[in-house]
Structure 1
Amino acid sequence: MRWATTADDAQAVLRTEAGTAAAVIDWNLPQAAGDGGETGGAEVLRHAGQRFQNLPVFLITDGEDLEHLPLWVAETVIGYIWPLEDTAPFIAGRIASAARGYQHDLLPPFFKALRRFDHAHEYSWHTPAHSGGVAFLKSPVGRAFHDYFGERLLRSDLSISVGELGSLFEHTGPVGAAERNAARVFGADRTYFVLHGDSTCDRMVGHFSVTQDEIALVDRNCHKSVLHGLVLSGARPVYLVPTRNGYGLAGPLPPAEIQAQSVADRTSRNPLTQGAVSPKAQYAVLTNSTYDGLCYDTLQVAQALAPSTPRLHFDEAWFAYARFHPLYAGRYGMAVGPETFPGPERPTVFSTQSTHKLLAALSQSAMVHIKSAPRAPVEHDRFNEAFMMHGTTSPLYPMIASLDVATAMMDGPQGRCLIDEAVTEAIRFRQTVVRVARRIAAADRPNWFFGVWQPETVTDPATGERLPFADAPLELLRTEPSCWQLEPDADWHGFPGLTTGYCLLDPIKVTLTCPGIDATGQMSHWGIPARVLTAYLATRDIVVEKTDSYTTLILFSMGITKGKWGTLMDALMDFKTLYDHNAPVEQVLPELVAAHPHRYTGQTLRELCQEMHNHLRDARLVELLDTAFHDLPEPVTPPQHCYQRLIRGGTERVRLTDAADRVAAAMVTVTPPGIPVLMPGENTGTPDGPLLRYLTALESFDRRFPGFRSETHGVTVAPDTGDYLIECVRQIPAQQTGRTAGEHHKTPTPHPLNPQLPTA
């Protein structure tokens, strides 16, 4: 039991005591500091309604007639207490009874059933073989495992043979009830729980939505799992190209890119579509929000793409919270439905979400949400075939329970409150960085600091006043979506071709910018590459989400606290001090120097940053990246054909110096920025073409700065030379094909399993 004597204290209790089961509030509680108008009791009562759903609240009054209380009070409380009219035991009994009822009804369907089964203490006669953890107790190392994770987790690791918990494949019992509850909360017609992450969700939806030799429209800023879906289905991809800015950040697909005529032109120019079973795409997939927090007006996107495809898939791996805060209204897939998009042209919409990433669920816990349309209806029994194909018959029940609980946490006003806290802390951090930079500029210190990628000014729609971002009221920034919209042609974001309201920057995905370049691509004479900064942050046990050449991404999830981001601010200030004092690299990055003593011993932090900046500038790496992503390689054959060659020995690893005019057999994805630059079935181009120039520049950077290499999926590094090797389709000797070398990409490729046979 917690007591509070002021409104401030009471609200602090409600913020920190999530286990509160009932509340008794005095209407005449003293007001919070600086507030006026309402009584302190009214303030606390409102806060309780925002923080908890269905929390039993009793109101203590001093005998006034209830008709003098505001009307909303009666809708919030479940009863009133007049201390002088009833006995203390009777009042306590009423409160305890209400608290028990609240706790009984609090748990969502599956979690409630799992707890009920656990409390029954039944013997386990089914898999898994550890039988509720008992097997672990028979071995010393098993006992250590049991003691670490605890008996309750192991007792809840059950087989699908437990009928009273329902079936994940048949969607019955408590599992089915939990999925139906999630569909209601997330605004879907149907929701499926997936236990292998959003990657499996993407493969599942892609495998269901498009079949052999049908056309799929694919955002080039896609996750590799989308490609895996194309490999499984045998679809023929037509890639849609997002815009990019001077930092190298991927933007949204420009509005003009997704208009029907633009899509038709791009489709007709793609060589792969010549072998398609239909000239119309059956499926389109795009990323929302992007890794860097750019989210679409999904209704605009659906209306633009509707003439081109009957099925639209929003990969919302990092955006499961969007429905629960007004900043994101109309920015998520399930916002597209018959109410917002009436008529026969509405496409069926899929939304795949990695629930565990930014909501409270266990790792790999994910969901597929579906809004079916008559134009391309999704029948449950048929979609369930794809679900079963990609699912497991041995689900981990705690994962299902975590999806159930994550749903319940978002249900009602508490969901808005939880997301609002993350938004608020992200905005406070953003403003703090700008204000610190302002203070540094006014002080007698070297005039530089890190920036934040965001608007420099915002407009208050109520007054029309234009305000510096750092000085804007918190209430304005946390409630007004227009503050975060990417205005057309604004320098701060650097993306061309956008229209008003089309794209919004998600405030909880914070991109820090380093000196050296701006959003238009203008490089300065000095700079601090972000890789050096994040290497230092790692020594402070601060691991960021993503690092590009001059930017780094910080995620503000529901688990963020002022102490957590305050620690980051302290590390940023310390890095500035080390740079300004030209500290030796041995002091700043001791493990780097220990691993590469001949390269970095005796170098200072400022020298390292400048050398790396000069290399990035002289190699024009950011410019080459932009060109490589805009000038796409020529498609030669569908991805599935390349995969078949890959597993049957029909491919070889080729050095970049020998890779010109070859057909890629595997995807090449460079992190940063984490977007594919080469897809299976695409031609690598000429030695001086955009792709090979970019990869060669990366290879050169890795050799020059060991310890800072990019994470490049699809590239093998030769241990003796450091050369990049990429997987290519093995060439057929010219005498076998009747063609000269260099012409293999201009004619049908060999059969994927028998090189002597042509493809169909």
Structure 2
Amino acid sequence: MNPVSRVLVVSDDAAWQADVLAELAAVAGKMANPFGLCFEGVGRSSDALARAGSDGEVQIVLVDKGLKEKGTTQPAVQLANQINRLRPELSLYILLQDDDEKVVMEELASHAIDGYFYRDERDFNGWFRILAAEMGEKAATPFYDKLKQYVRMAKDSWHTPGHAGGDSLKGSPWVGDFYDFVGEEMLRADLSVSVPMLDSLLHPTGVIAEAQTLAAKAFGAKKTYFATNGTSTSNKVIFQTLLAPGDKLLLDRNCHKSVHHGVILSGAQPVYLDSSVNRQYGIFGPVPKQVIFDAIAANPDARVLILTSCTYDGLRYDLKPIIEAAHTAGIKVIVDEAWYGHARFHHAFRPTALESGADYVTQSTHKILSAFSQASMIHVNDPTFDEHLFRENFNMHTSTSPQYNLIASLDVARKQAVTEGFRLLDRALKLAQELRQKINSTGAFRVLELDDLLPESVSGDGVQLDPTKLTVDISQSGYSADELQRALFERFNIQIEKSTFNTITLLLTVGTTRSKMSRLFDALLRLAKEQRPPRVLGKMPEIPGFSRLACLPRDAFYEAGERLPLLDDDGLPNPALTGRVCCDQIVPYPPGIPVLVPGQVIEANIVAYMARLLKTQKSIEMHGLAEEGGEFCVRVLRNDELTGLPSRAWFN
């Protein structure tokens, strides 16, 4: 299938426009045209915006600087800026009459413009070559192309990895099926730093550097770095770059556990902000805006604020006023956009965190776009960015033997996002709306809307919902969440994203198809027709609020401590834990919010919460508890250890 790259020529000079379109079409018919450049005209700004906002095959817009529209003094300038806001991945060229017009455009819209043509030059072969080259740059995958080239060179491998391009597996009576399953090309492309032409992720100067530069342009960053250890490692890298031991940071308690691990590794002093809670559905939302503002005001020495936007359930902050308040206080802002890496490429999802002013953004490119698992990106817009320090921390966490197929997948995912991301996301949005209606029609299942999901404490905070994340209320179906997941998997071959006690979450992406949607709807409809009576679903106990820190998390984590049982001899919450200081991060999953972090003082209600979870929520995993002799234990500081910690004085 050949691509189509539509070029819109916007001009109200109908005769001139018709001539230009005919000439460019003639050139396209006789010259090499690998990107399928084709040309169409529109006469008004409104028509151009409508086409750009609805046609995913529009790739380039040519705007006549002489465009005239009633009530607008500079319609070409206005249109350039509007197109850039609507679809920043589009290439935009201005058709000029003279150099004076170029000066005006540069003053008012230079950030939006990729180039200029002069109307009277009529060098249509030259125009076409430039536009084709523009598409070539946008569609380039420098690392992936070089990787393919190297594989096709068929070099003998006398270096790592040990399978030597799959030769150790091929033809084996024991493991030859793995060779067949994975495929020859994938194994041949599994290479190492011993191949100089493929550049180095730890010190990129060639094709990896080129691929990262293209990604920065695509996502709106000054610098972009590819990460093959996932967003978990990306968060830790940024923490160690920005925070020295004892530095204070503000963080959403609902952040991913990698953020809490980053607190330990960096030696930072955290100020935990409790998330909003939707108790009806067991869903945790953003931190209330006023809580963030109050924390900024109360901690003038804070260096960093980190937030998660959007959340696992699709709730995203109104980031701009929060970031402005943080910057006014001299605080750097990190946004974990692990679940929102697609947002740049459709106006329904924007503004992104970078567009809202964030200094650092981490994205799991593999979650929503077409990269392989573990493939992520770090985007940087920090005006005081210390690249050397960042690189030292990046290299501390990054493997010296990165998976080159992961890097290639990031290169390819970026290319797809800028060339057809709008079209694919537009399809996902339409399928999401249709799926909402179909699920609601079953009578037993209902897709929750923003008002249903939004905790009351953030109802006036401008929080928005990513419509491609569908949270379905199952309470009228007669199924428990575990039973429903099992039925979908075993009877209908469907695997969902996650669940709470009375909801399931469905994730639509650029890979969602109508056929998949049809099969899911059919499954839910069949289950609804069973007409099971609604059942009372036991709610998860409410997670206790954060207590307080007795010392830095890092200090508590690195002490040996002692292990005390969670339950006493009678099977009740162990009172001996009350008042002790936890050494580990203990996370019930789901929901994935730490109930205890290293350095936190344990209170009786926290012990009771963990004990109740173990007894009543069998599907919950309790990460961080030690298990000894069939008993769950909590690692806590010994009294002599706590007394000897220098950071203890900071919290008394």
TM-score interval (norm. to shorter)? 0.7 to 0.9
Please state how far the C-alpha of 1:164 moved relative to its aligned partner: 1.7
Gap regions ≥5 residues in structure 1: 3-19, 28-41, 56-74, 77-94, 268-278, 338-347, 438-447, 456-489, 517-525, 581-605, 703-707, 738-747
Question: In 2, are the aligned partners of 1:352 and 1:368 still within 8 Å (CA)?
Answer: yes
Corresponding residue for residue 406 of structure 2: 399
Letter in 2 for 1:509: K
Corresponding residue for residue 598 of structure 2: 680
Question: In 1, are the aligned partners of 2:165 and 2:188 still within 8 Å (CA)?
Answer: yes
SS at match of 1:134: coil
Question: Given the alignment of the two structures, is residue 300 of structure 1 paired with residue 321 of structure 2, yes or no?
Answer: yes
Structure 1 residues 23 and 335, CA gap change in structure 2 (3 angstroms): closer
* CA distance in 1: counterparts of 2:522 and 2:389, whole angstroms: 54
* CA distance in 1: counterparts of 2:53 and 2:245, whole angstroms: 55
TM-score, normalisation: structure 1: 0.65
Question: In 1, are the aligned partners of 2:561 and 2:583 still within 8 Å (CA)?
Answer: no
SS at match of 2:226: strand
In the TM superposition, what whole-angstrom CA distance separates every residue of 1:356-392 from its partner, at most 9, and x where no partner exists?
111101110011000012xxx1121221001100111
User: Aligned ranges for residues 112-191 of structure 1 at < 5 Å?
Assistant: 112-137=145-170, 139-191=172-224
Please state how far the C-alpha of 1:410 moved relative to its aligned partner: 1.1
SS at match of 1:203: helix
* CA distance in 1: counterparts of 2:233 and 2:489, whole angstroms: 30
* CA distance in 1: counterparts of 2:446 and 2:325, whole angstroms: 35
Corresponding residue for residue 727 of structure 1: 634
* CA distance in 2: counterparts of 1:494 and 1:105, whole angstroms: 42
SS at match of 1:133: coil
Letter in 1 for 2:320: L
Letter in 2 for 1:541: N
* CA distance in 2: counterparts of 1:187 and 1:677, whole angstroms: 36
In the TM superposition, what whole-angstrom CA distance separates every residue of 1:575-616 from its partner, at most 9, and x where no partner exists?
223343xxxxxxxxxxxxxxxxxxxxxxxxx5xx73x63xx2
Question: In 1, are the aligned partners of 2:292 and 2:322 still within 8 Å (CA)?
Answer: yes
* CA distance in 1: counterparts of 2:136 and 2:305, whole angstroms: 44
Please state how far the C-alpha of 1:313 moved relative to its aligned partner: 0.6
Letter in 1 for 2:315: L
Please state how far the C-alpha of 1:54 moved relative to its aligned partner: 7.5
Please state how far the C-alpha of 1:172 moved relative to its aligned partner: 0.9
Match of 2:610 among 683, 689, 695: 695
Corresponding residue for residue 449 of structure 1: 444
SS at match of 1:50: coil
Length, aligned pairs only: 544
In the TM superposition, what whole-angstrom CA distance separates every residue of 1:425-446 from its partner, at most 9, and x where no partner exists?
1111012222x14xxxxxxxxx
Match of 2:356 among 324, 336, 356: 336
User: Aligned ranges for residues 606-617 of structure 1 at < 5 Å?
Assistant: 610=535, 613=537, 616=538
Please state how far the C-alpha of 1:309 moved relative to its aligned partner: 4.7
Structure 1 residues 380 and 263, CA gap change in structure 2 (3 angstroms): closer
Corresponding residue for residue 641 of structure 1: 555
* CA distance in 1: counterparts of 2:283 and 2:326, whole angstroms: 24
* CA distance in 2: counterparts of 1:165 and 1:399, whole angstroms: 13
Please state how far the C-alpha of 1:21 moved relative to its aligned partner: 5.0
Corresponding residue for residue 465 of structure 1: none
Question: In 1, are the aligned partners of 2:276 and 2:455 still within 8 Å (CA)?
Answer: no
Match of 2:281 among 215, 238, 247: 247
TM-score, normalisation: structure 2: 0.75
Question: In 2, are the aligned partners of 1:515 and 1:550 still within 8 Å (CA)?
Answer: yes
Corresponding residue for residue 311 of structure 1: 332
* CA distance in 2: counterparts of 1:102 and 1:116, whole angstroms: 21
In the TM superposition, what whole-angstrom CA distance separates every residue of 1:325-356 from its partner, at most 9, and x where no partner exists?
111222x221134xxxxxxxxxx611001111
Larger radius of gyration: 1
Question: Given the alignment of the two structures, is residue 663 of structure 1 paired with residue 559 of structure 2, yes or no?
Answer: no
Corresponding residue for residue 432 of structure 1: 438
* CA distance in 1: counterparts of 2:614 and 2:566, whole angstroms: 14
SS at match of 1:368: strand
Please state how far the C-alpha of 1:537 moved relative to its aligned partner: 2.0
Corresponding residue for residue 79 of structure 1: none
SS at match of 2:389: helix
Question: In 1, are the aligned partners of 2:475 and 2:503 still within 8 Å (CA)?
Answer: no
Corresponding residue for residue 750 of structure 1: 643
In the TM superposition, what whole-angstrom CA distance separates every residue of 1:69-114 from its partner, at most 9, and x where no partner exists?
xxxxxx99xxxxxxxxxxxxxxxxxx9xx99998898441111111
SS at match of 2:303: strand
User: Aligned ranges for residues 86-101 of structure 1 at < 5 Å?
Assistant: none
* CA distance in 2: counterparts of 1:635 and 1:107, whole angstroms: 50
SS at match of 1:571: helix
Question: Given the alignment of the two structures, is residue 281 of structure 1 paired with residue 196 of structure 2, yes or no?
Answer: no
Question: In 1, are the aligned partners of 2:138 and 2:418 still within 8 Å (CA)?
Answer: no
Question: In 1, are the aligned partners of 2:375 and 2:406 still within 8 Å (CA)?
Answer: yes
% same residue: 32
* CA distance in 2: counterparts of 1:321 and 1:415, whole angstroms: 8
Structure 1 residues 349 and 644, CA gap change in structure 2 (3 angstroms): same
* CA distance in 2: counterparts of 1:105 and 1:295, whole angstroms: 29
Match of 1:370 among 380, 399, 406: 380
* CA distance in 1: counterparts of 2:136 and 2:167, whole angstroms: 31
* CA distance in 1: counterparts of 2:54 and 2:449, whole angstroms: 33
Question: Given the alignment of the two structures, is residue 511 of structure 1 paired with residue 488 of structure 2, yes or no?
Answer: no
In the TM superposition, what whole-angstrom CA distance separates every residue of 1:3-54 from its partner, at most 9, and x where no partner exists?
xxxxxxxxxxxxxxxxx95659899xxxxxxxxxxxxxx9xx9999723757
Please state how far the C-alpha of 1:574 moved relative to its aligned partner: 2.3
SS at match of 2:634: strand
Question: In 2, are the aligned partners of 1:284 and 1:309 still within 8 Å (CA)?
Answer: no
* CA distance in 2: counterparts of 1:175 and 1:366, whole angstroms: 14
SS at match of 2:594: strand
Structure 1 residues 142 and 497, CA gap change in structure 2 (3 angstroms): closer
Question: In 1, are the aligned partners of 2:52 and 2:58 still within 8 Å (CA)?
Answer: no
Q: Which moved more, 1:170-179 or 1:116-125?
A: 116-125
Match of 1:192 among 225, 229, 238: 225
In the TM superposition, what whole-angstrom CA distance separates every residue of 1:606-654 from its partner, at most 9, and x where no partner exists?
5xx73x63xx2xxxx44x41xx34x212222221122212xx4644554
* CA distance in 1: counterparts of 2:584 and 2:621, whole angstroms: 15
Corresponding residue for residue 351 of structure 1: 361
In the TM superposition, what whole-angstrom CA distance separates every residue of 1:386-430 from its partner, at most 9, and x where no partner exists?
110011111111111100011111114x22112111111111101
Corresponding residue for residue 528 of structure 2: 576
Letter in 1 for 2:381: K
User: Aligned ranges for residues 548-627 of structure 1 at < 5 Å?
Assistant: 548-580=500-532, 610=535, 613=537, 616=538, 621-622=539-540, 624-625=541-542
SS at match of 2:359: strand
Match of 2:390 among 353, 369, 383: 383
* CA distance in 1: counterparts of 2:594 and 2:156, whole angstroms: 50
Structure 1 residues 553 and 309, CA gap change in structure 2 (3 angstroms): farther
* CA distance in 2: counterparts of 1:299 and 1:566, whole angstroms: 38
SS at match of 1:318: coil
Question: Given the alignment of the two structures, is residue 713 of structure 1 paired with residue 623 of structure 2, yes or no?
Answer: yes
Please state how far the C-alpha of 1:149 moved relative to its aligned partner: 1.9
Letter in 1 for 2:573: T
Question: Given the alignment of the two structures, is residue 416 of structure 1 paired with residue 422 of structure 2, yes or no?
Answer: yes
Question: In 1, are the aligned partners of 2:286 and 2:458 still within 8 Å (CA)?
Answer: no
User: Aligned ranges for residues 17-32 of structure 1 at < 5 Å?
Assistant: none
Structure 1 residues 758 and 415, CA gap change in structure 2 (3 angstroms): closer
Question: In 2, are the aligned partners of 1:529 and 1:550 still within 8 Å (CA)?
Answer: yes
Please state how far the C-alpha of 1:527 moved relative to its aligned partner: 6.7
Please state how far the C-alpha of 1:694 moved relative to its aligned partner: 2.4
